[in-house]
């Protein structure tokens, strides 16, 4: 009897030790090793950080991204102190400082939302492998060797194509103007899609593009808009963050197509429609993945079909007759598999090393924008678009 009791006691001790070891040595994404579970990640303890190049008052890119943050917060029920925003951070050493401050503040996941932040994300992420870093519009995550770095973007070119239809039907001079931030693929892809949308309903349309070399500079955006109007453009669009192109267009009696925000309130007699992104879809998804202890995709991109890009309401007071129907027809084609950058289409551009590259798509061929990576890669100037220095 004593021998049986001894065997039972030994077995119970072994099971107890095994249970303790399992609790101490197994960790999953988003949890920290603690036998009392004091630091276990949960909906009540997670902290989410954001680094933005401007602030929501720009009524542009940061404003739109911030709407996504608020959407995520409402969907998950996070408190204000669980979200930390770093606004007006320059694309330079200040980026690295902001990222480190968010880590020190206890953020479990950090979203860096501007293109020029990526190199600093890679530096800080390597030092903090337990923190997840998500970077918008970048392209280096897949080759970084860092499992905690992720790239994301949306197929905004699809919404720009649809918005271009409103411009192509409205123009009377058949000349469009485009206020562009930088000569990057992200910008070039966007304004090319806009032009192709306009051309799909108006084969005679042409477009001039001028760069501001800044994401958000209202004064420069107004100057460039004025210059494009003086050159003959009667519809202005933009890849820039402020409402200056909209208000300058209205002041000059021409029309405008916006980006990131519904700009009708800023220019009710000029703004036709805006191409927009719903960043809340990605931000909410990623935070949920972390809370479930599941992996985050290295690259993520969704488009019109998933509601990640869309158009603001048409300004029914001033859009051309038939605009709504033409956009609906094109949107149905996108949902059915139409590719924006379809042949026949030719163009010329530069690769990352500055070498000249050529595009020559035959009828039935297309450029697979954002299919292999989330960041836009269409980097060609096509016939009908002129860059004004």
The rounded distance, in Å, linking the Cα atoms of 107 and 360 is 46
Residue 111 has pLDDT above 90, yes or no: yes
Alpha-carbon distances of 15 from 23, 37, 155, 307, rounded to whole Å: 12, 20, 53, 51
Sign of the CA dihedral running 229, 232, 235, 236: negative
Residue 4 has pLDDT above 50, yes or no: no
Residue 196 has pLDDT above 70, yes or no: yes
What number is the average pLDDT over the span 31-40?
A: 43
CB 134 within 8 A of CB 167: no
Lowest-pLDDT choice from 39-48, 70-79, 140-149, 239-248: 39-48
Per-residue pLDDT band for 353 (boundaries 50, 70, 90) equals confident
What average pLDDT does the structure give for the chain? 91
What number is the average pLDDT over the span 216-245?
A: 97
What number is the average pLDDT over the span 131-145?
A: 97
Alpha-carbon distances of 211 from 100, 128, 223, rounded to whole Å: 32, 37, 11
Say which residue, 209 or 27, is predicted with more confidence. Answer: 209
Alpha-carbon distances of 353 from 134, 349, 350, rounded to whole Å: 26, 11, 8
* pLDDT at site 178: 98
What number is the average pLDDT over the span 126-130?
A: 98
At 287-341, the pLDDT tens digits run 999 999 999 999 999 999 999 999 999 999 999 999 999 999 999 999 999 999 9
* pLDDT at site 39: 57
* pLDDT at site 18: 35
Lowest-pLDDT choice from 10-14, 118-122, 198-202, 272-276: 10-14
Residue 15 has pLDDT above 80, yes or no: no
Per-residue pLDDT band for 354 (boundaries 50, 70, 90) equals confident
The rounded distance, in Å, linking the Cα atoms of 344 and 378 is 15
Per-residue pLDDT band for 36 (boundaries 50, 70, 90) equals very low
Per-residue pLDDT band for 10 (boundaries 50, 70, 90) equals very low
Alpha-carbon distances of 17 from 11, 20, 40, rounded to whole Å: 10, 5, 22
Residue 290, CB half-sphere, CA atoms under 13 Å: how many? 28
What number is the average pLDDT over the span 117-129?
A: 98
Residue 37 has pLDDT above 80, yes or no: no
The rounded distance, in Å, linking the Cα atoms of 113 and 310 is 19
């Amino acid at each position: 009897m004593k021998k049986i009791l001894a065997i039972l006691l030994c077995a119970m001790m072994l099971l107890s030790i095994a249970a303790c070891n399992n609790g101490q040595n197994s960790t999953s994404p988003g949890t920290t090793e603690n036998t009392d579970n004091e630091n276990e990640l949960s909906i009540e303890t997670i902290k989410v950080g954001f680094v933005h190049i401007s602030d929501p008052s720009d009524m542009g890119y940061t404003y739109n991204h911030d709407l996504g943050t608020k959407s995520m917060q409402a969907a998950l029920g996070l408190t204000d102190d669980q979200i930390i925003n770093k606004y007006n951070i320059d694309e330079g050493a200040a980026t690295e400082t902001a990222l480190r401050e968010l880590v020190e503040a206890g953020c479990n996941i950090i979203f860096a939302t501007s293109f020029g932040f990526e190199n600093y994300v890679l530096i800080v992420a390597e030092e903090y492998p337990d923190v997840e870093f998500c970077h918008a519009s970048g392209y280096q995550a897949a080759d970084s060797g860092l499992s905690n770095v992720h790239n994301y973007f949306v197929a905004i070119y699809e919404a720009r194509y649809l918005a271009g239809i409103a411009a192509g039907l409205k123009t009377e001079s058949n000349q469009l103007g485009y206020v562009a931030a930088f000569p990057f693929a992200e910008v070039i892809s966007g304004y090319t899609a806009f032009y192709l949308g306009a051309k799909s309903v108006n084969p005679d349309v042409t477009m001039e593009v001028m760069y501001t070399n800044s994401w958000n500079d209202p004064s420069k955006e107004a100057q460039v808009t004025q210059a494009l109007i003086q050159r003959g453009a009667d519809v202005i669009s933009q890849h820039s963050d402020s409402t200056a192109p909209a208000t300058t267009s209205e002041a000059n009696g021409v029309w405008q197509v916006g980006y990131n925000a519904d700009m009708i309130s800023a220019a009710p007699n000029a703004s036709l429609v805006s191409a927009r992104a719903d960043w809340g879809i990605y931000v909410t998804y990623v935070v949920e993945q972390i809370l479930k202890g599941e992996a985050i995709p290295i690259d993520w991109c969704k488009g019109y079909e998933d509601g990640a890009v869309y158009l603001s309401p048409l300004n029914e007071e001033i859009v051309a007759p038939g605009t709504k129907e033409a956009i609906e027809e094109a949107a149905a084609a996108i949902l059915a598999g139409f590719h924006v950058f379809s042949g026949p289409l030719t163009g010329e551009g530069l690769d990352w090393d500055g070498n000249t590259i050529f595009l020559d798509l035959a009828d039935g061929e297309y450029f697979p924008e954002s299919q292999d990576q989330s960041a836009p890669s269409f980097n060609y100037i096509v016939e009908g678009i002129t860059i004004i220095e």
